[in-house]
Amino acid sequence: MTRIGIILGSTRPGRNGEPVAKWVLESASTRTDATFELIDLADYPLPHLDEQFPPAMGQYQNAHTQEWAATIARFDGFIFVTPEYNHSTTGVLKNAIDYLFAEWNNKALGIVSYGSVGGARAAEHLRLIAGELKMADVRTQVALSLFTDFKDFRTFAPGEHQAASLSTLIDEVVAWSDALAHLRA
């Protein structure tokens, strides 16, 4: 069975991303074509990249890196849930991505972003990063606006149209994850 990790890319106290990630998981969990699991970066307190060797060498020295690598290696594809900070994704998400290389290769990536402009610039940065890691990013993106998909900028209340976008995104992530399986073999 195809395994998709939903990565919650914010660790900020009171973060808006937690209800968003749970919404993604709840929607995905109704499917029978893949299994889905929430990966909360708050559960992986990675320091700033502290490995001696470049990740592409796969010579991880630290226990926290080895644990993170084993987690990511279990999955066939990912849905990243990210806010937009300063026209990009979060530092904690970028750091977690930078720790690894081969574990990301030939896997699909979908993006659910949020922010004042729907997190569009964070998503674009993730697409650039994904290309370097040999990941296939899917076209559909769920862009949640702090103005229309959150009440008072805090309480998550997605517009009805967002459910259809999320369903399409999940369809694409599962399909691309399946299509890339022969490259991961």
Q: Tell me the pLDDT tens digit for each residue of 125-140.
A: 999 999 999 999 999 9
pLDDT at position 23 is 98
Query: What CA–CA distance (Å, rounded) separates 11 from 42?
Result: 5
pLDDT at position 182 is 97
Count of domains observed in the chain? 1
The token pair at 67 is 């644990």
pTM of the full structure: 0.97
pLDDT at position 106 is 98
Other C-beta atoms lying within 10 Å of the C-beta of residue 149:
20
- Percent of the chain with pLDDT strictly greater than 70: 100
Query: What CA–CA distance (Å, rounded) separates 50 from 62?
Result: 8
Query: In which domain, by residue range, is 51 found?
Result: 2-184
Measure CA 150 to chain center.
20
User: What DSSP line would sit under 108-160, residue for residue?
Assistant: EEEEEEEETTTTHHHHHHHHHHHHHTT-EEEEEEEEEETTTSEETTTEE---H
- Phi then psi for residue 7, to 5 deg, are -95, 120
Burial (Cβ within 10 Å: 0-12, 13-18, ≥19) of residue 156: middle
List the pLDDT tens digit at each of the 185 positions of the chain: 999 999 999 999 999 999 999 999 999 999 999 999 999 999 999 999 999 999 999 999 999 999 999 999 999 999 999 999 999 999 999 999 999 999 999 999 999 999 999 999 999 999 999 999 999 999 999 999 999 999 999 999 999 999 999 999 999 999 999 999 999 99
pLDDT at position 75 is 98
CATH number at residue 109: 3.40.50.360
pLDDT at position 107 is 98
pLDDT at position 50 is 97
pLDDT at position 170 is 98
pLDDT at position 108 is 98
Give the angle subtended at the CA of 149 by the CAs of 144 and 153, to the nearest 5°. 100
Please answer whether residues 153 and 54 qualify as being in contact, where contact means their C-beta atoms are separated by less than 8 angstroms: no
The token pair at 13 is 């106290």
Beta strands in the chain (DSSP E): 2-8, 34-40, 77-83, 108-115, 136-145, 150-151, 155-156
Query: What CA–CA distance (Å, rounded) separates 102 from 146?
Result: 35
